[in-house]
Chain A
Amino acid sequence: MTGYLVRRVLELVPTALVIIAASFALVRLAPGSPFSSEKEISPEIRRQLEAKYGFDRPLPEQFVRYVRNLLQGDLGLSTKYPQRSVNEIIATGFPVTLSLAAVALVWSLLVGMTAGIIGAVRQNTVWDHSAMMAALVGISVPSFVLGPLLVLLFSLRLQMLPPAGWGDWRHLILPGLTLGTIYAASIARLTRGGMLEVIRSDYIRTARAKGLAERLVITRHMLRGGLLPVVSYLGPAIASMLTGSVVVEKIFNLPGIGPYFVDAAFNRDYFLVMGIVLLYAFFLLLMNLVVDLLYGLLDPRIDHA
Chain B
Amino acid sequence: MATTTDTVLEVCDLRTHFHTDDGLVKAVDGVSFSVRRGETLGLVGESGSGKSVACLSALRLVPTPPAAHPSGVIRFAGKDLLTLPERDLERLRGNRLAMIFQDPLTALNPYLSVGRQLTEVLEVHEGATPAAARRAAIEMLTRVGIPAAGQRIDQYPHQFSGGMRQRVMIAMALLCGPEVLFADEPTTALDVTIQAQILDLIGELQASLGTAVVLVTHDLGVVAGTADRVAVMYAGRIVEEGTTAEVFANPLHPYTQGLLASMPRIDTPSRQRLAAIPGLPPDLGQLPSGCPFHPRCQQAGDRCRQAYPEVVIASPTHRAACWETEAVS
Quick one: which of A58-85 are within 8 Å of B by CB? none
Q: Please pick, from B56, B87, B106, B121, the residue contacting A210 in the complex, using a CB distance under 8 A.
A: B121
For A213, the closest partner residue in chain B by CB is B90
Distance of A301 Cα from B158 Cα, bound (Å): 7
Distance of A298 Cα from B112 Cα, bound (Å): 10
Contact B107 A210 (CB under 8 A): no
Contact A201 B106 (CB under 8 A): yes
Contact A301 B156 (CB under 8 A): yes
Given A210-B124, A221-B112; A202-B172 close (CB under 8 Å): no
Residues of chain A within 8 A (CB-CB) of B161 are: none
How many chain B residues sit at the interface, stated as a range, is 20 to 34
Closest chain-A Cβ to B257's Cβ sits at a distance in Å of 34
Q: Please pick, from A124, A203, A205, A214, the residue contacting B110 in the complex, using a CB distance under 8 A.
A: A203
Tell which of A201, A206, A212, A224 has the most Cβ of chain B within 10 Å. Answer: A206
Contact B107 A202 (CB under 8 A): yes
Contact A225 B110 (CB under 8 A): yes
Residues of chain A within 8 A (CB-CB) of B63 are: 200
How many chain A residues sit at the interface, stated as a range, is 20 to 34
Contact A205 B124 (CB under 8 A): no
Residues of chain A within 8 A (CB-CB) of B124 are: 210-213, 216
Quick one: which of B82-125 are within 8 Å of A by CB? 86-87, 90-95, 98-99, 101, 103, 106-113, 120-121, 124-125
A209 within 8 A of B: yes
Contact A298 B91 (CB under 8 A): no
Quick one: which of A216-234 are within 8 Å of B by CB? 216, 220-221, 224-225
Grouping DSSP codes into helix (H, G, I), strand (E, B) and loop, the A interface class, with mixed when no group exceeds half, is helix
Closest chain-B Cβ to A213's Cβ sits at a distance in Å of 6
A208 within 8 A of B: yes
Residues of chain A within 8 A (CB-CB) of B121 are: 210-211
A27 within 8 A of B: no
B192 within 8 A of A: no
A207 within 8 A of B: yes
A299 within 8 A of B: yes
Residues of chain B within 8 A (CB-CB) of A203 are: 106-110
B59 within 8 A of A: yes
Given A216-B124, A300-B158; A209-B94 close (CB under 8 Å): yes
Distance of A224 Cα from B92 Cα, bound (Å): 26
What are 30 of the A-B contact pairs (CB < 8 Å)? Answer: A200-B63, A202-B106, A203-B106, A205-B107, A206-B108, A206-B172, A208-B61, A209-B94, A209-B98, A209-B101, A210-B94, A210-B124, A211-B92, A211-B93, A211-B95, A211-B121, A212-B94, A212-B124, A213-B87, A213-B90, A213-B124, A214-B86, A224-B112, A225-B111, A299-B110, A300-B110, A300-B111, A300-B113, A301-B156, A301-B158
Closest 4 CB pairs of A and B: A210-B94, A211-B93, A211-B94, A202-B106
B-side residues, CB < 8 A to A, are 56, 59, 61, 63, 65, 86-87, 90-95, 98-99, 101, 103, 106-113, 120-121, 124-125, 156, 158, 169, 172
